[in-house]
Homo-oligomer: A and B are copies of this chain.
Amino acid sequence: MTGTLHGVGVGPGDPELMTLRAVRTIAAADVIAFIGADGRASRACATAATVIPDAAEQLGFDMPMRADPGAGQAVYDTAADRIAARLDAGRDVAFLCEGDPLLYGSFIYLMERLQDRFPVEIVPGLPSFAACAAALRLPLARRTDSFGIVPGTLSDADLRQRIEALQSMAVIKVGRHRARLSRVLDDLDLLDRAMVVQEVSHPAQQIQPLRGITGDLPYFATVMISKEDPA
């Protein structure tokens, strides 16, 4: 009997925003796996810290943030091999993911490598945009509205197409594209509707209008925009 690979979404950061199923799955795992960036501890791991069993093996992998795609793939290959060895030995592995495992998660690349050989179960997690909307008390969609998640790394034309098609959106991965995003939003007369939420649901959570910001945004910032007037 091989073990099962569980992709576990732990939500946006506040340990209380884990689901009961995430807590149960982590508590029952033989191995807790995670990927940290640039030698930093995994944020998903910090969220789950209080429910990780003492007896579990912790299997961490480091992803260089500005890795070229080839180097990134090599990290996933290594991680998949080391996780496969545990699954082959009949041990259940919980791979921890911030937010939801299937929304921009590195779990996708591990699942691709392992799902033909091992049983895979996914525990969906609360996406960070839902916590951002809750913090802002911002209605995301009524009736026939469309909500979407848009990466700030897109070209101006692609950003514009998506922003025009949606009534509300969460723009992620803005970082050094902040000035460009502000310009596109200003052109569409939406800049004054854009709010930046940093470190959502963490003790360091900060909320501010995008209008006043001049530099880049930190990595863990989301820009929330709704074309409709607030409730």
Residues of A participating in the B interface, judged by any CB pair closer than 8 Å: 9, 11, 14-21, 23-24, 100-104, 108-109, 111-112, 115, 120, 122-127, 130-131, 133-134, 137-151, 153-154, 161-162, 164-166, 231
Contact of A19 among B18, B100, B122 (CB under 8 A): B18
Q: Chain B residues near A141: list those with CB within 8 A.
A: 102-104, 149
- Please report whether the interface of chain A is mostly helix, strand, loop or mixed according to DSSP: mixed
Partner of A148, one of B123, B143, B148: B148
Docked Cα-Cα span, A143 to B122, in Å, equals: 20
Contact A20 B21 (CB under 8 A): no
A188–B144 Cα gap in the complex (Å)? Answer: 21
Instruction: A11 to B127: give the CA distance in the assembly, Å.
Output: 12
A sample of 17 cross-chain residue pairs with beta-carbon separation below 8 angstroms, ordered by A number, consists of A15-B20, A17-B19, A18-B20, A20-B23, A102-B133, A102-B141, A103-B130, A115-B137, A124-B131, A124-B133, A125-B130, A126-B126, A127-B127, A143-B153, A144-B151, A145-B151, A162-B165
Copies of this chain per assembly? 2
Query: In the docked arrangement, what's the CA distance between A101 and B102, Å?
Result: 21
Cβ contact within 8 Å between A140 and B17: no
Contacts of A150 in B (CB 8 A): 146
Max chain B C-beta neighbours (<10 A), residue from A21, A131, A231: A231
Chain B residues with CB under 8 Å of A100's CB are 130, 133, 140
Residues of B within 8 A of A120 (CB): 137
Find out whether the CB atom of B145 lies under 8 angstroms from the CB atom of A102. no
Chain B nearest CB, measured from A140 CB (Å): 5
Q: Residue of B at shortest CB range from A139?
A: B108
Q: Nearest-CB distance from A67 to chain B (Å)?
A: 13
How far, in angstroms, from A161 to B9 measured CA to CA in the complex? Answer: 31
Would A146 and B148 be within 8 Å (CB), given that A18-B19, A125-B130, A127-B130 are in contact?
yes
